[in-house]
Amino acid sequence: MRSKIVAGNWKMNKNLQETIYLVEDIASKLADTSAEVMVAPTFVNLSAAVSALESSKIEVVAQNMHFAESGAYTGEISAGMLKAIGIQSVIIGHSERRAYFGETDELLSKKVKAALENNLRVIFCFGEELADRQSGNHFTVVESQLKNALFSLSTGDWKNIVLAYEPVWAIGTGETASPEQAQEMHAFVRKTVAEGFNQGIADDVTILYGGSVKPGNAVEIFAKPDVDGGLIGGAALKTDDFLAIVNAI
Ligand code: PEP
């Protein structure tokens, strides 16, 4: 079922004390909303955030995971470990993971499958680089990212998939895709999912936009019919900005 979601990706920011302070501050000021609100602190602070938000509707999600259940993968964290501390959702395929840690579509496909096998909901990120958009290849790039990582899933798997379109040129740059550019790509993504699976799955899948969403542009972006919410980076680290974006939905 399609939902409205605003998720904050905290990346490698906030130590333990800062994490507890920020989640408590956000929770105490969150107004009544029908949107799902999520925060994604770093691995080491997930447990503390889960405890601090026990009586809140805010969900704590992970920024990444490994595809294996356990074993000789120094420095990695498995889906089962996330589940064991109360995590229900995980971000997979963020462009920073692809760019700085060499995560390929093939690897991401394995991560998505492992997450779903462990009953984690996947927030799957994809999006073109600036050169792709400038050369007019943005639709082809996005289509292949989706096909390579998600098209071997079963139709039933899609109830646990959330898509996040994040054009790389708009992440952390202050440069936002226009609401029209976001809508155009989201509609294309829905069409691609309909062709690969069926119209019902395409209509039901939640598609977030991410890339320099701020209080000043969120209303316009979220107003587009195929934009179901946002994945928020920088603005998720300040209570007032994050909550203004939540309220924009
Ligand atoms: C992100 O990293 O997912 C993101 C959207 O970052 P920002 O909002 O800072 O562009």
Instruction: Report d(CA 95, CA 155) in Å as an integer.
Output: 25
The Å distance, Cα 170 to ligand 1 centre, comes to: 8
Does the annotation count 186 as an active-site position?
Answer: no
Residue 94 has a pLDDT of 98
Instruction: Report d(CA 218, CA 214) in Å as an integer.
Output: 6
Which segment of 84-88, 168-172, 194-198 scores lowest on mean pLDDT? 168-172
Residue 84 has a pLDDT of 98
Query: Which sign, positive or negative, has the C-alpha torsion 132, 138, 144, 147?
Result: positive
Instruction: Report d(CA 62, CA 94) in Å as an integer.
Output: 12
Contact 89, 63 (CB under 8 A): no
Given a cut of 90, whether residue 173 has pLDDT beyond it is: no
pTM, two decimals, is: 0.97
Work out the pLDDT band at 172, boundaries 50, 70, 90: confident
**Which of helix, strand or coil describes residue 226?**
coil
Query: Which letter, b or e, does each residue of 83-113 get, where b requires 16 or more Cβ atoms within 10 Å of its Cβ?
Result: eebebbbbbbbbbbbbeeeebebebbbebbb
If one residue of 5, 212, 238 were mutated to test the ligand 1 pocket, choosing by the most ligand atoms within 8 A of its CB, it would be 212
Work out the pLDDT band at 126, boundaries 50, 70, 90: very high
Q: Kindly name the residue from 66, 94, 138, 186 that is annotated as catalytic.
A: 94
Instruction: Report d(CA 192, CA 44) in Å as an integer.
Output: 37
Beta bridge partners of 91: 123
Residue 118 has a pLDDT of 98
